[in-house]
Each structure stands twice: as C-alpha cells, then as structure tokens.
Amino acid sequence: MTPTAFLEVFRNRRIAVVFLLGFSSGLPLALTSGTLQAWLTDAAVDIRAIGLFTLVGLPYTLKFLWSPLLDCFALPWLDRRRGWVAAAQVTLAVLIAAMGASSPQSALFAVAVLALMLATVSASQDIVIDAYRADILSPVERGAGAAVSVFGYRMAMMVSGALALILADRFDWRLTYGIMAGLMLACLLVTVLAPPVDSAIPTPKTFGEAVTGPLANFFSRHAAVAFLILIVLYKLGDAFAGSLTTRFLLGGTDEVPGLGFSKTDVGVVNKGFGLIATLAGGFIGGGALASLGLYRGLLVFGVLQAVSNLTFMWLARAGADYGLMVAAIGFENFSGGLGTTASVALLMTLCDRRYSATQYALLSALSAVGRVWVGPASGYLVVALGWPSFFFVTFLTALPGLLLLMWLRNEIDAASPAPSS
C-alpha cells in the first residue's frame, strides 16, 4: 500500500465513527479509577479504603461472562450493536451525574455502589463497541480502525483524567462529574448517526453455541492455559505500580504521606504529559513490532516496563522533585505504551476470526485482572513497607511474566508472522 493509499483509508465515515466510539468507550474508565482516587484523597478517605475502591474495576475483568448475551440478543431500536451502545451511553450519563451528586464523606458506600454500576455498564459498552468495530470495518480498514479507536480511547481518558482534575481544582467535584455526564450523553448522537451493521453477518443460533464455540476453539490451542497466565502476568508489575500513583503524587492526611504535588501538577504531568508519552510509546511500539517480531517486542517492551517502576522508587527516595517526577512519569508511561501495543498484538494473534468478539472480551478481561486485584493489596503494602520498597516490589512482580514469556517463545513465534525485513 502506498503512503497516499494508507492515508486515504482514514478518510471515511466508518473510521471517524470508530474514533468517536473509542472516545465513548474510554470516558468512564478514569471516573472510577484515577479521578475517583483523587476525589477520595481530597475527601480524606483512608488509604486502605482507597485501595479497596480499585475493586470497582472488577467488571472489566469479568465482562466475558455476559458477552455472549450481547452477541445473541438485540434491543428493539437501531440495530444489533448500536442498540446496546445507545442504551449503555444513556445509562452511563445518568450514573456519572449521580456519582457527582454523592459525597464520599457522608455516603462512601453509595459512591462505591454507583462506581461499581458505572464500571459494569462501561464494560458492557466496551464489549459491543469492540464487536461493532469488527462488524463494520473491511480488512483494509482494520489497522487504521484499531489506531484511531485507541487514540479516541486515550483522548477520553485525558478528558476524564487530566481535565477532570484541573476542573476539580478550580470548581468542585459535582460540576466536574456533571460535565463528564454531559459529554457521555453527547456520544449518543454518534451512535444514532453511525453506519448500521450488516444484517447478513451470521449470529449464534443459540446461547449455548455463543458460549461453547469460542471456548472450545481457544482451548484446543497448544499451551492455551499458559497463554492465559501470560496475559494476566505480562502487565501485572505495571498495573501494581500504577494502582496508587495518583495518591503517591498528591499526598494525603493519613500515616503514609505522599509527595504533595497539587492536583493541577498531577493532572498536567501524570494525566496529560503521561498520556502523550503513552500514545508515543504505542505508535513507536507498533512500528518497532514490524521489525522485532512479536516475541522480541514483548520481551524488550516488558523489560522496559519493569525497569520503569524503579524510576518511581528513585522519585520516592528523592522527594517532591518536579523534574524527576516528569522524567519518571514520562518513562513509565512511554514504556507502558510500548507494552500495551505488544500485549494487544498478542491478544489479536490468539483470537480466531470466527469468534473474535467473545474471545477478545475474554482475553482483554484477563489482561485487566492485574489492574483490579493488586489494588486492595497495594494500600496495605505501602503502609507496611513505605513507598520506595513498594515500588521495588512492583518491579519484582513483573519478572514472573517475563520468565513465562521466554518459556513460550516457540509457541509465540509459531503463532505470529515473521518480522518484515
């Protein structure tokens, strides 16, 4: 494909819709994770409780359980995919506004319930948007569609992460969450105007077929269980280090002080600059994979992810050094972008095209396990060890995944195409 033809593939309605739906998919995530963590810190919630709040992300790891339902059944408006997306967007807008009207100081449990509901509906939206993207894009458009979808997702995380923190620093959390709810509702217009899916695409004849077919196909693969473990472990150290990064940078009023940077500093550097570094890592990683191949890319990027955690240990020892914070966040997010690109390539390699929607839901949910389950332990570990030792433990946590990766080298090389010359 010539450079002109490559650019031309981005200039159509389907690619634009995929970008905007990527934005819709990414907007709720920070509102139940980093942004919520900042709100809880502002409300002087104990660090142990903040750690437990990461459990609200569980639906992202369990979404494969109900993905066959969304594959089999349709709502009585729009079409099989867009009907579910529209319902999810309206529900998400209501839940985000309700969270903003709540108070962590006086109704912490209610905030937790709303956050859990928000994560559940958000995970459901992700399932259907992933399926819609696969349904409407032609083979030549899929690479461009994947790129713009990730870009839209990351832009939304900047809005609900960096912009939300800056708004909260100048106004209040109720208004901040209200604005996010309005943006979520605006995404409904994109869904209504989006191209419909082809009604001729085959669908599972029974719910049993939708469940058993993808599972039987995947587990017929050699070393299937080992691959599932690798998916969980590959970004575990990265997730562990990131589970309390916002709390670490902001500070707090309990027995484990952080660095004491302002919400604006954290919003601009950790959320804004960090996002730019992540996107740069993603694009560079995608280009590097073409020459490195999947196995070498996973290994090199995984090592960089692990080493990047040590820069936070250095920052924890040095204290509130602004320049060092920028460097640590830049390196960690750049390495994370590299690792995410490689891990997504691995998920795509492991999917059979006949069952890619349900299989991708399963595998992507597994890849989020680390982000959710390390959270509850992280708060207690920081209290027990302090920040420098905590970040060293996150480095050690990354090593088992790299060892398993090396053990699976032959299987990965056999499943992935040879690198370009």
- Would residue 1 count as lying in a domain? no
- Extract the tokens encoding 39: 């709100």
User: What number is the average pLDDT over the span 120-141?
Assistant: 81
User: What number is the average pLDDT over the span 152-169?
Assistant: 88
For residues 259 and 355, membership in a common domain is answered with yes
- Higher pLDDT residue, 223 or 89? 89
For residues 210 and 194, membership in a common domain is answered with no
Q: Mean pLDDT: which of 1-5, 327-331, 338-342, 350-354 is highest?
A: 327-331
pLDDT given for residue 189 in this prediction? 95
* This prediction's pTM: 0.70
Counts for the chain of helices (H) and strands (E), in that order:
24, 0
Q: Are 131 and 357 in contact (CB under 8 A)?
A: yes
Lowest average pLDDT, out of 108-112, 143-147, 218-222, goes to 143-147
pLDDT band for 1, please (50, 70, 90 cuts): very low
Whole-angstrom distance, CA of residue 122 vs CA of residue 33: 13
User: What number is the average pLDDT over the span 169-189?
Assistant: 93
Range of the domain at 395: 204-415
Instruction: Indicate which CATH number applies to the domain containing 280.
Output: 1.20.1250.20
- Extract the tokens encoding 314: 């250095």
pLDDT tens-place string over residues 9-58:
556 788 889 889 999 999 999 898 888 888 888 888 888 888 888 888 88
User: What number is the average pLDDT over the span 300-325?
Assistant: 91
Picking from 154, 176, 199, the residue at the C-terminal end of a domain is 199
Q: Name the percent of the chain lying above pLDDT 70.
A: 89
Mean pLDDT of the chain: 83
pLDDT given for residue 303 in this prediction? 95
- Extract the tokens encoding 327: 């460097």
pLDDT tens-place string over residues 91-121:
999 999 999 998 888 888 999 999 999 999 9
Q: How many domains does the chain have?
A: 2
Q: Are 264 and 166 in contact (CB under 8 A)?
A: yes
Whole-angstrom distance, CA of residue 327 vs CA of residue 313: 13
Q: Which residues contact 103 (CB under 8 A, 6 or more apart)?
A: 43, 111
pLDDT band for 420, please (50, 70, 90 cuts): very low
Picking from 140, 169, 199, the residue at the C-terminal end of a domain is 199
Residue 1's alpha-carbon distances to 5, 29, 242, in angstroms, are: 6, 36, 39
Nearest-CA neighbor of 368 among 33, 20, 3?
33
Q: Give me the amino acid identity at 360.
A: Y
Question: In the Cβ-directed half-sphere of 56, how many Cα atoms lie within 13 Å?
Answer: 27
Picking from 147, 164, 199, the residue at the C-terminal end of a domain is 199
- Would residue 300 count as lying in a domain? yes
Q: Are 27 and 91 in contact (CB under 8 A)?
A: no
pLDDT tens-place string over residues 229-268:
999 899 888 888 887 888 888 876 567 777 888 888 888 8
- Higher pLDDT residue, 287 or 409? 409
Question: In the Cβ-directed half-sphere of 154, how many Cα atoms lie within 13 Å?
Answer: 23
Whole-angstrom distance, CA of residue 81 vs CA of residue 200: 13
